[in-house]
Amino acid sequence: MLSGVNAMSPILKLDDDDEDKEMDFELDYQLSLNVDQRFHMMFQKSKELAKMLVKNGHRRPFEIIKRS
């Protein structure tokens, strides 16, 4: 377990900015998830992004349009 990580919380707490520790923390967290959890998180974040787009005035999320 990384220093600065509270066992009760999946939040990294550092006194100063440290990009290396932040990246290590994020990678450790992602590696701790199984495939189902990763897909669930991905779909949840996609829905969250779509809701934010609508909330901010975009009627539809970005989509690729096929040109003929």
Q: What per-residue confidence (pLDDT) applies to 5?
A: 47
**Joined tokens for residue 27:** 């990678």
Cα 66 from Cα 46, distance rounded (Å):
22
Cα 7 from Cα 9, distance rounded (Å):
6
The alpha carbon of residue 55 and the mean position of all alpha carbons in its chain are separated, in whole angstroms, by 20
pTM of the predicted model as reported, rounded to 2 decimal places: 0.54
Q: Could you read off the pLDDT tens digit of each residue along the chain, which spans 68 residues?
A: 445 444 445 788 888 999 999 999 989 888 888 999 999 999 999 999 988 888 888 776 566 777 76
Rounded-to-10 torsion of CA 14, 19, 20, 23: 90
